[in-house]
Amino acid sequence: MKKKLELSKKIIFPVSIPHISKKDINFVNKTLKNGWISSNGPEIQKFEKKFSQYVERKYSVAVSNGTAALEIAVKALGIKKNDEVLIPNFTIISNALAVLRQNAKPVPIDCNLDDWNIKISDIEKKITNKTKAIIVTHIYSFPNDMDKILKICKKRKIFIIEDAAEVLGLNYKNKKCGSFGDISTFSFYANKQVTTGEGGMISVNSLQLYKKCCSLRNLCFGKSNRFNHDDLGWNYRMTNIQAALGLSQLKNINNVVKKKMSVGRQYFEKLKKNKNLQILPASNSFAKNIYWVVGIVIRNKKIKTKKMMKKLLKYGIQTRPFFWPMSEQKIFKKLKIFNKANYPNSKYLSEYGFYLPSYLKLKNKEIDYICSVVNKLTK
Q: What is the DSSP string of 340-371?
A: S---HHHHHHHHHEEEE---TT--HHHHHHHH
Per-position b or e across 227-258, b if 16+ CB within 10 A of its CB = eeeeeebbebbbbbbbbbbbbbbbebeeebbe
The pLDDT of residue 260: 96
The pLDDT of residue 7: 63
pLDDT digits (tens, 9 = 90+) for 85-136: 999 999 999 999 999 999 999 999 999 999 999 999 999 999 999 999 999 9
The pLDDT of residue 282: 95
Question: 109 forms bridges with which residues in the sheet?
Answer: 88
Element (H, E) at 311: helix 305-314
Question: 186 forms bridges with which residues in the sheet?
Answer: 201
CATH number of 22-250: 3.40.640.10
The pLDDT of residue 1: 46
Helical ranges in 142-232 per DSSP H: 146-156, 207-217
Query: Which residues, including other chains, have CB under 8 Å from residue 51's CB and lie 6 or more apart?
Result: 60, 62, 186, 201, 203, 246, 250
Q: Give the span between the Cα atoms of 216 and 218, in whole angstroms.
A: 5
The pLDDT of residue 6: 62
End-to-end C-alpha distance for the chain, whole angstroms: 19
DSSP state of 112: -
Q: Give the span between the Cα atoms of 249 and 253, in whole angstroms.
A: 7
Minimal CA–CA distance to 192: which of 333, 73, 291, 112?
Answer: 291
The pLDDT of residue 9: 63
Element (H, E) at 124: helix 123-126
Q: Give the span between the Cα atoms of 313 and 307, in whole angstroms.
A: 10
Query: Which residues, including other chains, have CB under 8 Å from residue 89's CB and lie 6 or more apart?
Result: 108, 109, 110, 111, 325, 326, 327, 343, 346
Helix then strand then coil, % of the chain, to nearest 5: 40, 15, 45
Query: Length of the chain in residues, anyone?
Result: 379
Query: Tell me, what amino acid is at 287?
Result: A
254-377 has which fold?
Aspartate Aminotransferase, domain 1 (3.90.1150)
pLDDT digits (tens, 9 = 90+) for 39-81: 888 999 999 999 999 999 999 999 999 999 999 999 999 999 9
Q: Give the domain ranges of the chain.
A: 22-250, 254-377
CB 200 within 8 A of CB 64: yes
Query: Tell me, what amino acid is at 87?
Result: I
CB 244 within 8 A of CB 96: no
Name the stretches of the chain with pLDDT < 50.
Answer: 1-2
